[in-house]
């Protein structure tokens, strides 16, 4: 059983618990998600099954989109409503103040992740150290905020829609916006609307379902591995003999691309290698350009394998 299912994670559950639930319902051993959501968060959580767990590094790279609600005037040690309150003050910010501050956080910004986060220091997550009372800090990082739209202002609550890069901490963004407004803030609600090519419309909720119902829903919603990689990665279809050679560890050669539409490929481009049935065989990185593929000898290596996938019929992970 190889593929990706997009679960609408409910509030109050860890991402790890959601993966465990999916694994138990489907009766498989190997599963994993492509990016943690905090327990209080809801929304899009891609879960990779079987051989699709090898896709996780590629699926993590996509743009993320969230809807978040801030409580202005309140700060906590976790930067969300579940933490210990550090300060509480009156909110004098106006809608005009908010409209003036928001554009400062669009573009490439420097962000300090929360101390209550899964970022590791000397191999241990920061949140464990923080819970022991240790004074910890995380080095700042650069993240990209592509869009930041005000959806609703009902002071002291402010709801934003955020489109951002991988690695962005929405709790830190909320806290920083509160500081810029002079009153502080913490996150009270968070919903992930999109993770790469996966959106709310692709997700399924398993709440209130029996195991039999949940299994049926998950199987119907499962996305094949080749499709899960999205349309942004060029597909190269190969014959059965070449499939066997690649699965045995043979690198894609110039001959692999004979008779294939290879225009506009450049060194470094990612490709997905498919069999004639359209199933994913491998993910590879191009070493040669389209032009060089036309002139090099057939046995010259043309791409470097990054991941190779077993066919479902011999999947050892079920």
Question: Do 70 and 179 belong together in one domain?
Answer: yes
Classified as helix, coil or strand, 106 is coil
For residue 182, CA distances in Å to 86, 95, 97, 103, 188 come to: 15, 14, 10, 16, 18
- Gap between the Cα atoms of 288 and 12, Å rounded: 48
Domain count, the chain: 3
For the chain, the average pLDDT equals: 91
Say if CB 127 and CB 42 are below 8 A apart.
no
> How many angstroms separate the Cα of 307 from the Cα of each of 55, 147, 286?
8, 33, 13
| Pair 212, 247 in one domain | no
* pLDDT of amino acid 21: 94
User: Do 70 and 186 touch, CB atoms closer than 8 A?
Assistant: yes
Residue 307 and residue 204 share a domain: no
DSSP states along 112-132: PPPSSSS-EETTEEHHHHHHT
Kindly state whether residues 187 and 71 are assigned to the same domain.
yes
Residues 94 and 188 in one domain: yes
Summarised one tens digit per residue, pLDDT across range 37-48 is 889 999 999 999
pLDDT in tens, 228-263: 998 778 999 999 999 999 999 999 999 998 878 778
Q: Which tens digits make up the pLDDT trace of 192-207?
A: 999 998 999 989 999 9
Residues 31 and 74 in one domain: no
pLDDT for the residue 122: 65
pTM of the full structure: 0.89
* Per-residue pLDDT at 134: 67
Could you say which of 227, 243, 272 is where a domain stops? Answer: 227
The pLDDT of residue 126 is: 66
Average pLDDT over residues 1-28: 94
Same-domain status, 44 and 68: no
CA-based nearest residue to 151, from 142, 143, 160, 164:
160
Would you say residue 138 has pLDDT above 80? Answer: no
Domain at 212, CATH number: 3.30.2350.10
Q: Which of 317, 310, 152, 166 is nearest to 246 (CA)?
A: 310
**Same structural domain, 190 and 204:** no
Q: Is the pLDDT of residue 316 over 60?
A: no
Together in a domain, 71 and 137: yes
Residues 285 and 218 in one domain: no
The predicted-structure confidence for 82-134, as pLDDT tens digits, reads as follows: 999 999 999 999 999 999 999 999 999 999 888 766 667 667 766 677 677 66
Q: Same structural domain for residues 54 and 72?
A: no
H or E element that contains 188: strand 185-195
Q: 113 near 138, Cβ under 8 Å?
A: yes
Reported residue count of the chain is 318
Within this chain, do residues 95 and 158 fall inside the same structural domain, yes or no?
yes
Dist. CA 195–CA 44, nearest whole Å: 7
As annotated, the active-site residues are: 38
List the domain range (segments joined by +) for residue 15. Answer: 3-62+197-227
């Amino acid at each position: 059983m190889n593929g990706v299912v997009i679960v609408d994670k409910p509030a109050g559950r860890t991402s790890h618990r959601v993966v465990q639930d999916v694994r138990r319902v489907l009766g498989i051993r190997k599963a994993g998600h492509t990016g943690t959501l905090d327990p209080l968060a809801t929304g899009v959580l891609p879960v990779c099954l079987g051989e699709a767990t090898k896709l996780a590094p590629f699926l993590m790279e996509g743009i993320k989109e969230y809807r978040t609600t801030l409580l202005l005037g309140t700060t906590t040690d976790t930067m969300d409503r579940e933490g210990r309150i550090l300060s509480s003050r009156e909110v004098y910010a106006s809608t005009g103040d908010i409209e003036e501050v928001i554009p400062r956080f669009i573009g490439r910004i420097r962000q300090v992740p929360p101390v209550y986060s899964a970022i590791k220091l000397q191999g241990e997550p920061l949140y464990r150290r923080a819970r022991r009372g240790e004074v910890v800090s995380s080095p700042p990082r650069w993240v990209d905020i592509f869009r930041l739209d005000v959806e609703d202002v009902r002071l002291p609550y402010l709801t934003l829609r955020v489109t951002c890069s991988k690695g962005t901490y929405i709790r830190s963004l909320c806290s920083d916006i509160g500081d810029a407004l002079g009153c502080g803030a913490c996150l009270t609600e968070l919903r992930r609307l999109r993770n790469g090519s996966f959106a709310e419309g692709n997700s399924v909720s398993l709440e209130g379902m029996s195991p039999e119902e949940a299994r049926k829903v998950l199987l119907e919603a499962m996305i094949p591995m080749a499709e899960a990689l999205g349309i942004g990665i060029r597909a190269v279809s190969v014959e059965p003999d070449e499939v066997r050679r690649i699965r045995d560890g043979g690198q894609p050669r110039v001959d692999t691309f004979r008779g294939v539409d290879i225009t506009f490929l450049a060194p470094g481009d990612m490709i997905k290698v498919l069999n004639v049935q359209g199933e994913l065989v491998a993910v590879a990185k191009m070493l040669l350009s389209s032009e060089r593929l036309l002139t090099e000898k057939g046995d010259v290596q043309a791409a470097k394998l990054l991941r190779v996938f077993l066919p479902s019929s011999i999947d050892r992970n079920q």
